[in-house]
């Protein structure tokens, strides 16, 4: 069987060696005679898997001891409500940046719980740039400041970590986690769905400073209460055991490959190959300006929706799958997560060159 190159935005391609290891351990995890899928989450074997996963994540991301690390269910979307329920209990105010579909959804959800101010947005240009912040717009009495570092649908990245004074910073890093080093100490909370760079779907990581939560809202569901989850070691109920195990295998792979500095080089190399081609193409364009471009998610367009559809179809037939853009944007999007080898991007660009040659005469 030949594996296609999978450019899905998530769930996404995983390193082949990780899948092979999971396959080899499927029926017998380290001599236990059991699959990890079958183990009790209270067993010593699984507790070790969970502890090892947390230790690896702390080591790779350089997470200090004064931060809690949680592995929960519910996805990043559940945190859109859990964040205000845990944190918006002082002034009842929070400041949000709306830089794409995901921060827009997070903002909309937070508006159900308190007074939300949008301090910057790039919606005027369909989110195809990273908005700049004006510090004077931040409210010094806000309970927290929220933004999404890498907008998966629109392909922009906010590189500047804002100066918010004493206001805690909460950041969605779903689609850029593990792609390059992130200084966790600059944030009070970072979180995300793991189904892009970290694991299959099913687990959400939450990394937050101990003492951040003063008093959650009275009606917060127990499962969304971060401090209660931390006290229970992410095990208030049955955790997503197998996904956590897969996360451990991915983290082992990242460590062996050289950690986040090595991932950064890989990410930059892959992104450069694709953006260079797009910037010089006669039929394809990348909508995000150079300084705001995501290394992980590359949206692009051809000259018409019809040609976009033809390209996506031809690419799929040639072994490049999941290149169709998000339903809200149209066009195409190539996600270049860690599991995508450099050769995959090189092969895609070769294919695009051929497609361009065949179609530019019709433009």
Ligand X SMILES: Cc1ncc(COP(=O)(O)O)c(C=O)c1O
Could you list the active site residues? 102, 172, 196
Does position 102 interact with ligand X (CB under 6 A)? The reply is yes
Q: For residues 165 and 345, give the distance between their C-alpha atoms in angstroms, rounded to a whole number.
A: 41
Q: For residues 283 and 303, give the distance between their C-alpha atoms in angstroms, rounded to a whole number.
A: 6
Does position 107 interact with ligand X (CB under 6 A)? The reply is no
Figure out which of the listed residues 6, 107, 152, 335 binds ligand X, where binding follows CB under 6 A: 152
The residue assigned the tokens 């295998």 is 249
Which among 24-32, 72-80, 117-125, 333-341 is the span making contact with ligand X, rule CB under 6 A?
Answer: 72-80
Does position 86 interact with ligand X (CB under 6 A)? The reply is no
Sign, Cα dihedral of 84, 85, 87, 88: positive
Which one, 34 or 78, has the nearer CB to ligand X?
A: 78
Does position 76 interact with ligand X (CB under 6 A)? The reply is yes
Does position 175 interact with ligand X (CB under 6 A)? The reply is yes
CB of 43 to ligand X, least distance (A): 27
Residue pair 146/99 in contact by the 8 Å Cβ criterion: no
Which one, 172 or 308, has the nearer CB to ligand X?
A: 172
Residue pair 338/179 in contact by the 8 Å Cβ criterion: yes
CB of 337 to ligand X, least distance (A): 11
Q: Which two tokens stand for residue 202?
A: 């099913």
Number of residues that bind ligand X (CB under 6 A): 11
Does position 243 interact with ligand X (CB under 6 A)? The reply is no
Which one, 156 or 302, has the nearer CB to ligand X?
A: 156
Which among 73-81, 86-94, 161-169, 305-313 is the span making contact with ligand X, rule CB under 6 A?
Answer: 73-81
Residue pair 140/165 in contact by the 8 Å Cβ criterion: yes
Which among 170-178, 240-248, 318-326, 329-337 is the span making contact with ligand X, rule CB under 6 A?
Answer: 170-178
Which one, 10 or 325, has the nearer CB to ligand X?
A: 10
**Helical pair 241-256 and 259-280, crossing angle rounded to 10 deg:** 80
Q: For residues 254 and 265, give the distance between their C-alpha atoms in angstroms, rounded to a whole number.
A: 13
Residue 271 has φ and ψ, to the nearest 5°, of -65, -40
Does position 148 interact with ligand X (CB under 6 A)? The reply is yes
Which one, 75 or 341, has the nearer CB to ligand X?
A: 75
Figure out which of the listed residues 32, 77, 111, 269 binds ligand X, where binding follows CB under 6 A: 77
Which among 61-69, 135-143, 168-176, 349-357 is the span making contact with ligand X, rule CB under 6 A?
Answer: 168-176
DSSP helix/strand/coil, 151: strand
Q: Which two tokens stand for residue 231?
A: 């006290």
Which among 21-29, 30-38, 70-78, 331-339 is the span making contact with ligand X, rule CB under 6 A?
Answer: 70-78
Figure out which of the listed residues 6, 8, 10, 205 binds ligand X, where binding follows CB under 6 A: 10
Which one, 88 or 296, has the nearer CB to ligand X?
A: 296
Beta carbons within 8 Å of 38's beta carbon, 6+ residues apart: none
Does position 233 interact with ligand X (CB under 6 A)? The reply is no
Q: Which two tokens stand for residue 325?
A: 């853009």
Give how far Cα 292 sits from Cα of 29, 127, 152, 168, 347, Å: 44, 11, 13, 24, 25
Nearest of 218, 177, 214, 182 to residue 194 by alpha carbon: 177
Q: For residues 105 and 148, give the distance between their C-alpha atoms in angstroms, rounded to a whole number.
A: 11
The footprint of ligand X (CB under 6 A) covers 10, 75-77, 102, 148, 152, 172, 174-175, 193
């Amino acid at each position: 069987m030949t594996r296609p190159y999978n450019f899905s935005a998530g769930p996404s391609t995983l390193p082949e060696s990780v899948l092979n290891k999971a396959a080899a351990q499927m029926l017998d995890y380290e001599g236990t005679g059991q699959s990890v899928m079958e183990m009790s989450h209270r067993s010593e074997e699984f507790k070790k898997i969970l502890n090892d996963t947390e230790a690896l994540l702390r080591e790779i991301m350089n997470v200090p001891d004064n931060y809690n690390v949680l592995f929960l269910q519910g996805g990043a979307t559940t945190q859109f409500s859990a964040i205000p329920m845990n944190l918006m209990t002082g002034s009842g105010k929070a400041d949000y940046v709306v830089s794409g579909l995901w921060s827009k959804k997070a903002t909309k959800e937070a508006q159900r719980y308190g007074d939300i101010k949008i301090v910057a947005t790039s919606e005027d240009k369909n989110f195809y740039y990273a908005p700049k912040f004006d510090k004077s717009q931040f409210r010094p009495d806000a309970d927290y400041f929220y933004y999404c570092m890498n907008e998966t649908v629109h392909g922009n990245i906010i590189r500047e970590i804002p100066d918010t004074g004493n206001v805690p910073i909460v950041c969605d890093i779903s689609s850029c986690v593990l792609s390059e080093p992130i200084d966790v100490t600059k944030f009070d909370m970072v979180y995300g769905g793991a189904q892009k760079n970290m694991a299959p779907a099913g687990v959400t990581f939450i990394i937050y400073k101990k003492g951040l939560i003063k008093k959650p809202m009275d009606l917060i569901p127990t499962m969304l209460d971060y401090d209660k989850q931390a006290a229970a070691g992410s095990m208030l109920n049955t955790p997503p055991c197998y996904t956590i195990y897969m996360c451990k295998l991915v983290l082992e792979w990242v460590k062996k490959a050289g950690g986040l500095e090595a991932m950064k080089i890989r990410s930059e190399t892959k992104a450069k190959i694709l953006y260079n081609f797009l910037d010089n193409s006669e039929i394809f364009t990348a909508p995000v300006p150079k300084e705001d471009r995501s290394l992980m998610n590359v949206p692009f367009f051809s000259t018409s929706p019809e040609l976009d559809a033809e390209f996506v179809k031809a690419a799929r037939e040639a072994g490049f799958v999941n290149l169709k853009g998000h339903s809200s944007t149209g066009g195409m999007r190539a996600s270049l997560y860690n599991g995508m080898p450099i050769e995959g991007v090189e092969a895609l660009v070769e294919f695009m060159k051929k497609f361009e040659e065949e179609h530019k005469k019709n433009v």
